[in-house]
Chain A
Amino acid sequence: MSDWSQVTRPVPVPNEWTRPFWEAARRGSLELQRCQSCRSFQHPPYATCVKCVSVDLQFEPVRGVGSIYAYTIMYHSGDKRFASAVPYASIIVELDDAPGALLAGNLLGVPYTEAKVGRRVEVVFEKLNDDITLPQFKLAAS
């Protein structure tokens, strides 16, 4: 099991495109940018809909369940902020509600060897400070 207790994660700095995502996460809700024209979700947030070029985009809640799209196990300890957790699983998740929108996270609560493409995961929220809470992932209760 990766030990995250000594890790000092860099704290996200919200900007005009991303602030609604982080404000929702602080409330314990996962919200992604959604095109109001073609209704597709996308992530990371962008100036336009990457499918239909509409500029009418709003953040809407999604269910925090999906599958591991891809992952890597980090062994290299060059990044001192994360060195104490090596080896650890960094994963990319495709949510059921938002095909094509890929969220990065860590696989928490299980050994890193549990990371496999296609494995079902669900969101958990990890508070970094009063302003920023990270959406993270654990294996889904089957």
Chain B
Amino acid sequence: MPKWENRCKIALSGVGYSKVTRSADVPLAAHALEAVRGAVTDSGLKLEDIDGLSTYPELPATGHAEVDGISVVSVNCMMAMLKLPNLTWHMQVGSNNIGGAVQQAVNALIAGVCKYAVVWRAMHNPKGTYQNLPGSQAVGATQFTGPFGFGGPGQHMAVAYTRYLERHNQSREKMVTLALTQRQHTQHNPHAFFYGTPLTREDYFKSRMVAYPFCLYDCDIPVQGAVAVVLTTADRARDLKPKPAYLAGYGQRLHFEVAGRIGSLADYMEGGASSAKLTWERSGFAPKDVDVAQIYDGFSASVLYGLESYGFCKQGEALDFIQGGRIGFDGELPLNTFGGSLGTGRIHGLWHIIEGALQASGRAGSRQIKNVNVSFVGASAPIVTGTTFIFTRESY
């Protein structure tokens, strides 16, 4: 299988963050603007240089109105706010999550239809219950799950996790290592919601159960915030302020998923494997080449499915793989070095992509892993519109 002809021809340049808050004190559009302006400034560009826009404007909460600028920030909303004089391309994706929006921007840059693309992800935390399920009817795919109390995504993830634990004779207590390691990493990320808030082993084991096997600290906390990136061609990126992170390859989940079918661990594994296979082939790298990895962790078990389906360890072994310091800053595979969603709050996978790029370009500050060249990202749960990326320090 030949490597991708566009390997390392696109780079991630600037990154930007809004404040991450627990409640929605200001409209989400303000968070998105702050993140986008931050990314453009980080690149040393001006807003009028930006000619491409892309996002995935979804609110994963249930039972709340989607209001543009308040609970989502669409491409249309961003265009209206910024009035970019040189805009030539825009796209908002409905599948493949925020990783798909990044991939669309990459494709647009390769096609030459824009020069500097901005991708943002803005996440709203609605007032009241996040999964607001007052309905008396179960319509569509939920008619086979809703009547039995399968309300939110947590339970959908939890059933695959019990399958995982009991088929592989594993114990959920081992997950404390992931929760504690990521919270330690969070203390090196001042933008994260849990920056300055340590977590102890006792906290983890004493926390309330949400949907067994998930306790509170297996779930990312809903927050309001946004992050953004600037993508451009490798040649242009070299002339910008920050050192570029080169995109060596990407992939997307190809596995077919039946709507309403839940709990299938095989669907996670096949989804992740299909995306990773494309990414390994295009980049020319293998799991053994990876120096640092960011793997989506909205629920902790997603990291296990990612580690196994992407090929970092064998099926059923991930809870053992993460032990013994392997995923810490000095470990064999430093993992979710920015704290993951468990540390930053629920901003979804663009932050994993940002960290993957920062590690590749040597810009990760006090959490920088030494001698990184190959930096892997799994940007959402393998089954749910999963995407994978590899960034490199070298441009090849």
Contact = CB atoms under 8 A, between A and B. Distances in A.
B212 interface: yes
Nearest to A136: B148
A10 B137 contact: yes
Summarize B's interface: helix, strand, loop or mixed: mixed
A41 interface: no
Interface size on B, as a range, is: 35 or more
B147 A9 contact: yes
A15 interface: yes
Interface string B47-59: 0000000000000
B326 interface: no
Interface string B118-155: 00000000000111011111111111111111111011
A102 B256 CA distance: 15
B262 interface: yes
Contacts, number: 136
A75 B210 contact: yes
Contacts of A10: 133, 135-138, 142, 146-147
Contacts of B133: 10, 78-81
Nearest to B209: A75
Contacts of B211: 72-76
Given A69-B163, A117-B162, A74 B260 contact: no
Interface string A105-142: 11000000000111000000000100000101000000
7 contacts: A10-B138, A70-B159, A70-B163, A74-B211, A75-B211, A78-B151, A82-B149
Given A12-B138, A70-B160, A70-B263, 20 more contacts: A9-B146, A10-B146, A11-B137, A13-B139, A42-B258, A43-B144, A44-B141, A44-B261, A46-B259, A50-B256, A72-B155, A73-B211, A74-B155, A75-B211, A80-B133, A82-B151, A91-B148, A92-B159, A104-B144, A106-B149
Interface of A: 7-15, 18, 42-44, 46, 50, 69-76, 78-82, 85, 87-88, 90-92, 102-106, 116-118, 128, 134, 136
